[in-house]
Structure 1
Amino acid sequence: MPTHRRPRLAALLVLFTALALTGLRAGPATAADGDVSWTVRTAANGYGDDRSSFGYAVNPGGTVEDTMVVTNRGRSTLRLAVYASDGYTTDAGQLDLLTREKESVGVGAWVHPRTDTLTIKPGKSADVPFTVTVPKNATPGDHVGGLLTSLKQSDTAAGINVDRRLGVRLALRVGGELTPRLAVEDLHVDYDGTVNPFAKGTATVAYTVHNTGNALLSARQDVSVQGPFGRLRTAAGDLDDTPKLLPGERWTVKVPVRGVAPGVRLTATAELLPLLTDPSGSTTPLKPVEATAHTWAVPWLAGLLLLVVAVTSLLVRRARARRREREAARVREAVERALQEA
């Protein structure tokens, strides 16, 4: 997962941000608070009349021109900032966009709105034409960001500024070789048993899903734990799919597998079925990937017996060593006496 950078704090002023994105649900996105209300949506043009978001396939060095429509639904004149920014997946698995003071290096740097401010009277709409210019050295594959409108309002009593943002998701698939790949990394398993030698325990399987390719991917997950020789297999049950991860992103997973018999040596397996979504919205499953890890799960009684055996074995070895030392000492003494008598 990406590192989320925090907004700078100044004295007693704290910046709060609320963000809504169209493209994650049908229809235009709406921001409403008292007399202030506005919507953003895609314009009807040659790309379509009822799009939920902006999406393009562009070759490196190519350009695209399109328009976002902003409508003032409130009762007072609205003054908004307009800018583009890169997207990232939050810890909650949702797409978010960098705030304006954060540097964008992908979509946010390639999208250029014709204006960076809007003034819209109540009940009126304004078009925001923009150009997408893809660098010639752009990495092939998927890039996600958004075009945003922003309204900062002061709350003097609370001593805060509230940054209300409303935007439209913008996805690019840059031409070139598409290499969708996921990896399961850092898989490990822990077992928590009971003192009852016949009771089952819980194995906790943890791992990281890493998008190592250049395409936006989610994955179906299957996690199981089994004993030696594939016996006593226990599955975690139905698991949610991972969120869609951008190229390079990571997602941490921790799955409890309950009802696992203490099979002495356990093997945990995490299998992922990557899901690739094409520009039309259809999903294609790819070749599964998996990883395994091992842990000990010895029944309490058996563990006690093993401990007793180990301690007994150690004591026997020490007793034998002491006897050998005493025999060697007696031999040395006998040799010394024989030499003295001679």
Structure 2
Amino acid sequence: MSSPTGHAARLALAVLLCALAMTPVAGAATPPAPDRGAAPWTARPAVGGSGTGGRPYFYLEGPPGTVLQDRLSVTNPGRAPVTVRLSGSGVRAGGEGVTGGGAGAGNWLRTAAEKVTVPARTRADVPFTVTVPAGATPGDHPGTIVVRGGDRTVGVPVRLRVGGPTLAALTVEDVTVSGRAIHYTLVNRGNTVLAPRIAVRADGVFGTLLRRGDRTLPVRVRPGQRVRLTEPWRDVPALDSATVRLRVTAAGGAHGEATARAVFVPWAPLTAGALLVLGAAGAGTYAYRRRRPRDRRPDDEERFGGVPGDEERPGGSPGDEERPGDEERFGGSPDGAGPPGDRQHSRSRHVAKAGAES
């Protein structure tokens, strides 16, 4: 049997072990809490010599065959170094092509380094060059400098204008009317970026159905680019035939026009009406055939004892005609005018004569 002293010792030992388990080990490193309030790194065009003012994009201009230079600033406001990768692209950050042929400032751009590590709370300026080919087409050639670091991607626009004669040309194509909208495509066939304006008009059989004056569209169409757009038309007619006209213009004398035909028919009511008319016509034809008297068939006379073509004669049935010679054999006249007695007497004489000869 255990003593009270042993129970007390065991209890004290258990309390001591629990206290040791809850006490942190000396020298154990506690992981630092993440700096959630730190701002992410940024990439933008480098500021000018005065250090004041910022540019939303790069703008470079020069004739074909020249080399243009500028600088990109990458700023790291965090507490840890950041490594970013730099590249030029002929497409926007979202993957949209800048030109129809794939040429642009991004394709002719080279950065001084493809990989840059920016220390904490530091800004790094990275030089880059744009080499304009000798055969570059005059006009606008936009591009993008793509900066990737961690889970972020930033695209900095580059607008390059190559010197030489410019051409502003814009067309509107593939105009269609579907539902409550007008669909069309704008094509920049020049060598300069255009901000198009559009005017819409629709004329029906009984007058104008839609008229909208010139207004600037919220798009910029780059050289060689095709943009598919939609013009809403909520008050479409229920029954009409319309001619839709679209006219587009842009700076530099660019203009284009296109038309399309649209027929508006309420198919549901017309289909229901056509079905009702066909049903009524079928019912009328059936009733008419039921009430019309039936024609006599050729075998009806044979079934009822007659011959086709025979006419009824008073006092006799068909086939009871007197044959030639009956009057002579029975002593009657051909027209049957003799009295019945004379005919009987003539028959007696014939009988007696025949008995004498035998």
- TM > 0.5: yes
Q: Specify the alignment match of 1:290 in structure 2.
A: 257
TM-score, length of structure 1 as denominator length: 0.59
Output the TM-score relative to the length of structure 2: 0.57
How far off its partner does 1:171 sit?
0.6
Pairing 1:232–2:208 present? yes
Q: Distance in 2 between matches of 1:55 and 1:260?
A: 45
Q: Measured at CA, do residues 98 and 125 of structure 1 come closer, stay the same or move farther in structure 2, by a change above 3 Å?
A: farther
SS of the equivalent of 2:141 reads strand
The SS at the match of 2:244 is: strand
Amino acid of the structure 1 residue aligned with 2:184: Y
What residue is the counterpart of 2:41 in the other structure? 38
1:215 to 170, 173, 192: 192
Kindly state the Cα deviation for residue 258 of structure 1 after the two structures are TM-superposed: 2.7
Distance verdict in 2 for CA 1:47–1:53, change over 3 Å: farther
1:127-151 alpha-carbon deviations (Å, 9 max, x no partner): 1011111010112211111223211
Write the deviation string for residues 174-195 of structure 1: whole angstroms up to 9, x where unpaired: 11221122111111224x6xxx
Unaligned runs of 5+ in 1: 1-31, 89-94, 153-161, 193-201, 275-283, 312-342
Task: Provide the C-alpha distance between the structure 1 equivalents of 2:220 and 2:52, rounded to a whole number of angstroms.
Answer: 26
Cα distance in 2 between the residues matched to 1:236 and 1:248: 27
Match of 1:248 in 2: 224
- Pair 299,69 (structure 1): closer, same or farther in 2 beyond 3 Å: closer
**Aligned 8 A contact 2:69 2:127 in 1:** yes
- SS of structure 1 residue aligned to 2:234: strand
Shift of 1:173: 0.7
Q: Which amino acid aligns with 1:266?
A: A
Q: Structure 2: how far apart are the matches of 1:78 and 1:98?
A: 28
Computing the radius of gyration from Cα coordinates, the structure with the larger value is 2
Q: CA deviation at 1:224?
A: 2.6
State whether structure 2 residue 111 is matched by structure 1 residue 144.
no
Q: Which residue of 2 aligns with 1:205?
A: 182
The AA in structure 2 aligned to 1:253 is L
CA deviation digits over 1:9-34, x for unaligned, max 9? xxxxxxxxxxxxxxxxxxxxxxx987
Identity %: 33
Contact kept, 8 Å, 1:220 with 1:242, in 2: the verdict is no
1:213 is displaced (CA, Å) by 1.3
Dislocated runs of 4+, deviation >4 Å: 32-36, 46-49, 236-240, 298-304
Matches of 1:175 and 1:268, distance apart in 2? 39
RMSD over aligned Cα atoms: 3.5
Number of aligned positions between the proteins: 236
Q: Which amino acid aligns with 1:107?
A: A
Measured after TM superposition, the shift of residue 265 of structure 1 is: 2.5
Deviations 1:291-318 (A, max 9, x none): 11112235779979xx99xx9xxxxxxx
- Distance change in 2, residues 1:302/1:117 (3 Å): closer
Q: Verify the 8 A CA contact 2:197 2:214 in the aligned structure 1.
A: no
Match 1:83 to one of 81, 87, 108 = 87
8 A Cα contact 1:226 1:233, kept in partner: yes
TM alignment of 1:258-269, pairs within 5 A: 258-261=234-237, 264-269=240-245
Alignment deviations for residues 184-233 of structure 1 (CA, whole Å, 9 cap, x no partner): 1111224x6xxxxxxxxx5x32111111111111222232321148x233
CA distance in 2, matches of 1:145, 1:288: 26
Question: C-alpha distance in 1, partners of 2:77/2:158?
Answer: 23
Give unpaired runs (5+ residues) of structure 2.
1-34, 279-358
Report if the CA contact (8 A) 1:227-1:263 is conserved: no
Cα distance between partner residues in 2 of 1:33 and 1:255: 45
Q: Is the 8 A contact 2:142 2:158 kept in 1?
A: yes
- Measured after TM superposition, the shift of residue 285 of structure 1 is 6.8
CA 1:47–1:241 in structure 2 vs 1: closer, same or farther (change >3 Å)?
A: farther
